[in-house]
Each structure stands twice: as structure tokens, then as C-alpha cells.
Amino acid sequence: MPNFSLVLLLGFFLNSASAGRSLKATVRKPATQTFFPGNSFQTFEGGLDHPLSGRDGSLADAASAFVQTQLQVDSSTMKYKSGYSSDIAQHAYIKQQHENIPFANAVANVAFKDGKVVSFGYSFVKPSSLASSSPTVSVDAAISAAEAALDGKHNNIPTTLEYLVNADNTASLVYVVQVQNPAQDTWYEAFVDAHSGKFISAIDFVSNAAYRVLPIFKQDLTEGFELLVNPQDPVSSPLGWHNDGITTSNDTSGNNAMVYLDQNTTDTTPQSAPGIFNYTQDPTLSPGAGMNSDAARTNVFYIINTVHDVWYRYGFTEAAFNFQQTNVQTGGVGGDRVLASVQNSEGINNANFATPPDGQSGQMNLYLWNAANPERDGALENDIVTHENTHGITNRMTGGGTGRCLQIVESGGLSEGWSDAMADWMEQVGPTIVDFFALGGYVNLVPIRHHPYSTNSTTNPLTYSSLMTLFEVHDSGEVWANMLHNVHAALVDAHGFLETARTDPTGSEGNVVWLHLFIDALALQPCQPDFLQARDAWIQADQNRYAGANKCLLWKTFASRGMGFHAFDYTDDFSVPAGC
């Protein structure tokens, strides 16, 4: 019997140590895995008083005082790192430190509710020896060692000095160096001994995942699902899609989006196996039957994250007021990933997106469509999801993140137009721009707009003067979306098409130019822009980025649809400025 309990005890320690390590582990480079000391975690139900209970004090002070008494440590051995308040609780994150240098892998977290401590986790250590806190090798030598060990290049993130506890309970002084290799999709944080110059280990920022979805360039499920492996862009989403900066999820939630069923935000879709979201949609069943709603949530999670990553490359970053839970680069306010409700039961045959100011989540609602039997799910038509998501970028980037600047009718029409045009851009796959782009044809059986987007004026006759009779925002939006479709076709005609444009904004090809101008112009145009101002912002964006190389192409294309040099007050003008 005593032997039996010894075995149990041993088992417990092994488990708790490996649970700590496996938190971030991937099997790609086992030799470089970073050691994590075992952690402890306590929860206190209704809450525990802390030394400063009942007194006014900061979250940092309360958390620090609590950790000091719990672990019997001196305030000089710990440092408050960060904290925040959710709608439910306050969270504080603390690092162990020695001579003001923090530990990379000895941390603590304390949560408070109603002034009491409700949980406490920690992995503080008592090292058997500590390296001197003054480094004896140079930063450059450490960077070289990290680059050589990980087959990549240091990025522009400054190196830092930290302590790293080793498995033998000694503590090394290390340089922390980020190393990336975009061609291999790798991104590491390396720890290099600041005394020996040797590479010790690394954190792998890229998590492996696979999703059965409709690839972004497909319009709807009639084109077929595919299992995509690691579709995340490590430049745009360095934490991956499932890490919100604090925890790593196993479901359709992460730093850029949280996707759930109907009104219940806890009804996210879990992974079907570790790192895999493999749900097979059955079009003969209703949207809620079988695996269909899991397939729908997985697809929306994939689309919102992909769109985040594409836009990020082109400038919709933290500083430009994007939607992220945790901001990796400086600028902007975090805590505002997109919340997406799939199969929302409060509506039918529609979808929408609400854009509050930077720092508050955008809200996407996707409804079912009842033209067909069984009903069809807006979540499985990519142009609908991208259209809605695009309201987020246009509302955030026009007027500086307030969400207030596309309110009057004409701006609302532009807003719908940008959203259609973005869906159109995302689905182009080659140098011949599909000249018959129509939205909503899957969910609604027939397209939901009056004309397909086309350069052919028989197929799509809309011009600037059409606005005189189009007062509804989606109707007037068709005029703008078709102009932007024409601009896209003209740019691709002139400069070609880059297939990798969704992850490479550096090319000179027409589809790359189009997305740069789209996003640059949003930041230039005034609050409540009208059509002519939106056109002028595109032309100025081209001046800013390409020294006006496309000025005449833009004028000619806008003029071909009535928005020429003398266009005014919804009267068509087909002229271009002198010199074009």
C-alpha cells in the first residue's frame, strides 16, 4: 500500500511538470523546447482577502502584496508585468526577477473579483545558482547564435535580457532574440546565454492547425471544402489564431475572432482532434444538423482570421485601429477582436456588422437564408462573410477609429460598395478578372444585387448619375463597387496579377496596387465622405504611394463610369484632367 501511494504521487509530479511544458510545445524542433518549471494553481471560490483588502490601491499593489505573503518572497524579487479588467474579474501578471532582471519562465497570475482573490497560479523558483546579471557577450554575437541555431533572421523587435531557469534549477542570464524565416513559416523567440554566447532554447510562436473550410478564393460551398494546414500568416498574427495573448484556446476563438452559435458566446466550436477542425458539411441536412454548424463556425473563424491577416499586411494594423484582443505592435487599443454569431436566430435572409470605436469588439451576425430547402447558411458563402467583415475596416479607418464616419446616406452607400468590392477582390485567382462577379447566389439561389460587377456596360450599366434614383445604401453601393471592380480590372490589365498578393504586399502587380490604394484611401478621406471625395482619396493615395503612376488610369476608369473631372451633383461627366 505505501508503494501504491508513492507511485500516485510520482505520477502527479510528472504530469504537472509535463503539463507545464506542453503548453506551447510543438514537435517540430524538440531539441529547442524551452524548459518550464512546474506550476501550481489554486482557486478560492468566493474569494480570499489579500493584505490590502478594504483599502484603495492599484491592481499592481494588491497583486504584489498577495504574492509576497503567499510565497514569502521579498518585493525586490518580483515585478508587476501587466494587468487588465474584464467585465467579470481583474487579472494581474507578475514575473519573478533578480537585480531588476525578469525571469522568462518564472511567473505568477492573480485574479480578483469584488476586491477578493479568486485564483492564483505561479511557477516561481528558488534557483540553486544564478548567473551574474551583467552580460559578458555582445548582443550581436547573441543574434548570430540565434540565427544560426534556428535558420532564420532576427526581426526588428529589440532584444532583451532575462533570466531563464534551467531543468537543473540553475538560472542563466539570457538574451531574448526573435528570429523568423517567412519562407519556412517559422517564428521563434530564442534564449541565448549572455555569458557563454550559446543558444539554449526557443519558444515557437507558430502553432500548427488545420481547418476544413472554403478557401478564401472560393465563393461558396459548391466549389468544395478543403483541409487547409497552417493557413495563418505569421507576420500578421505572430501569436497564431488561437492565442489571445493570455491563453491558448482549442476552439474557434483567439486573438482576432471569436465565433459562436447564435447568441451564446460559449458555443464556440471545439477542435475535432488536437490542432484540427475537421467537420464535414452535409448540404442535404439542415444547417443545424450533423456537423453542419461546426463546419459553419470553422469556416467563419478561418475567413475572419484570413481577412485580418491580409489587411494587416496592407496596413490595417493595431495602430490603424484594427480588431485584436492583444496588440502585438504598439498603437491602437486592444480587447476588440471580432465577435461573430453564426446561425443567429434573430434574423433571416441577411447579415450585418456593427463597428463600435477602437477598443470595443466588432459584432458580426450571420443569419440563415430560406429561399432553398433545406435552408442555407450565410456562414458558408465567403463573399457574405468578407462583405460584413469589410464594414469593420471601412468604419474603423475612416475618421480615425471612432466608428462614426460612414453615417450619412452617401457614405453608407460607399460602405456597402467597399464591402462588395473587397469580396470581389478576395475571390480573384488569376490575371483575368472574373467579369461577372455576383454576390449571394448560393444562399439566395439568385444573386442579391441588381447587376453583376463587370467592365461591360451592358452587363452592368451603373454610372455616377444612377445615384439620382438609387437612395437605398446597397443600391447606391453597387455603383461604387462596380467602379472599384473596373479599377481592379484596369490595374491588373496594366500591371499583371500576383497570386500571392494576400500575403505579399510588396509587388507592383495590379491586384497588389488595388488593395494598397483601397486601404490607404480610407485613412485619407474625410469623415462622412461622398463619392467624389472617395474617388479623390484613391487618386491621392496613388500619388502618395506610387508618385501618381496610376493617376490617368484611375481618372479614365472613374470617368468611364461618369465620375470624370467635371462630375458634380450626380451629373455624369466622362472627361479626364489635362495631361491624361
- Tell me which residues are annotated as active site: 388
CA distance 562 to 466: 9
Residue 358 interface partner, choices Ca ion, ligand NAG, none, CB cut-off 5-8 Å depending on type: Ca ion
Choose from Ca ion, ligand NAG, none: what does 250 bind? Cβ within 5-8 Å by kind: ligand NAG
**Closer CB to Ca ion, 201 or 255, in the complex:** 255
Smaller CB separation from ligand NAG, 46 or 274: 274
160 binds ligand NAG (CB under 6 A): no
Closest separation between CB of residue 174 and Ca ion, Å?
Answer: 32
Q: Report what 276 binds from ligand NAG, Ca ion, none; CB cut-off 5-8 Å by kind.
A: ligand NAG
193 binds, among Ca ion, ligand NAG, none (CB under 5 to 8 A by kind): none
Q: Does residue 26 bind ligand NAG (CB under 6 A)?
A: no
Q: Can you give the length of the chain in residues?
A: 580
Using CA atoms, how far apart are residues 118 and 49, in angstroms rounded to an integer?
Answer: 9
For Ca ion, the closer of residues 146 and 339 by Cβ is: 339
* Residue 427 annotated as lining a ligand binding site: no
Q: Which residues bind Ca ion (CB under 5 A)?
A: 332, 336, 358
Q: What is the 8-class DSSP label of residue 335?
A: S
Nearer Cβ to ligand NAG, position 276 or 532?
276
Give the one entry of ligand NAG, Ca ion, none that residue 458 binds, where binding means its C-beta sits below a cut-off of 5 to 8 angstroms depending on kind.
ligand NAG
Which of 342, 235, 361, 348 minimizes the C-alpha distance to 298?
342
349 contact, one of ligand NAG, Ca ion, none, CB 5-8 Å limit per kind: none
Contact between 368 and 374 (Cβ < 8 Å): no
Four-residue CA torsion sign, 508, 512, 516, 518:
positive
367 residue type, one letter: Y
Can you tell me whether residue 417 is helix, strand or coil?
Answer: helix
Comparison of 458 and 469: residue with beta carbon closer to ligand NAG: 458
Give the x-and-dash track for 262-301 against ligand NAG (CB under 6 A): --x-xx-----xx-x-x-x---------------------
Helix (H, G, I), strand (E, B) or coil at 120: strand
- x/- track of binding to ligand NAG for residues 440-459 (CB under 6 A): ----------------x-xx
The answer on whether 391 is annotated among ligand-binding residues is yes
Kindly identify the residues of this chain, within the stretch 456-485, that bind ligand NAG according to CB under 6 A.
Answer: 456, 458-459
Q: Should residue 250 be labelled a site residue for ligand NAG when binding is judged by CB under 6 A?
A: yes
Question: Which of 50-87 are b and which e, b meaning 16 or more Cβ less than 10 Å from the residue's Cβ?
Answer: bebbeeebebebbbbbbbbebbeeeeebbbbeebeeee
CA 260 from centre of chain: 16
Applying CB under 6 A, the site for ligand NAG has a residue count of 15
Q: Where are the alpha helices (DSSP H) in 496-561?
A: 510-524, 531-546, 551-560
| Residue 249 binding ligand NAG, by CB under 6 A | yes
Q: Are 517 and 549 in contact (CB under 8 A)?
A: no
Q: What backbone phi and psi angles, to 5 degrees, belong to 69?
A: -75, -40
Minimum CB separation of residue 337 from Ca ion in Å reads 9
Minimal distance, residue 359 CB to Ca ion, in Å? 6
Q: Is 75 in the site for ligand NAG (CB under 6 A)?
A: no
Q: With CB cut-offs between 5 and 8 Å by kind, which of Ca ion, ligand NAG, none does residue 309 bind?
A: none
Which segments of 31-122 does DSSP mark as H helices, in order?
59-71
To the question of whether residue 346 is assigned a binding role by annotation, the answer is no
CB nearer to ligand NAG: give 133 or 278: 278
Segment near ligand NAG (CB under 6 A); pick from 243-251, 312-320, 391-399, 490-498: 243-251
What is the number of the residue whose Cβ is closest to Ca ion? Answer: 336
Closer of 222 and 459 to ligand NAG (Cβ): 459
CA angle 62, 67, 73 (to 5 degrees): 130
542's contact among ligand NAG, Ca ion, none, with CB below 5 to 8 A by partner kind, is none
Grid coordinates representing 461 are 450599366
Show the cell assigned to 125.
523558483
- Residue 91 main-chain phi, psi, to 5 deg: -120, 130
Residue 367's nearest CA partner among 390, 384, 389 is 384
For 483, list phi and psi in degrees, rounded to 5. -60, -45
Span between the terminal Cα atoms of the chain, in Å: 93
Burial group, residue 345, by CB count within 10 angstroms (0-12, 13-18, 19+): exposed
CA distances to 430, 456, 487, 536 from 514, in Å: 14, 19, 8, 15
- Nearest Cα to 415, choosing from 438, 439, 390, 437? 390
Q: Which is nearer to ligand NAG, 466 or 476 (CB)?
A: 466
Separation CA 420–CA 424 (nearest Å): 6
Query: To the nearest whole angstrom, how small is the minimum distance from the Cβ of residue 357 to Ca ion?
Result: 9
Compute CA 569 distance to the chain's CA centroid, rounded to the nearest angstrom.
39
Question: Collapsing DSSP states into helix, strand and coil, what is residue 493?
Answer: helix
List, as residue ranges, the binding site for Zn(2+): 387, 391, 416
List, as residue ranges, the binding site: 387, 391, 416
| Residues forming the site for ligand NAG (CB under 6 A) | 227, 247, 249-250, 264, 266-267, 273-274, 276, 278, 280, 456, 458-459
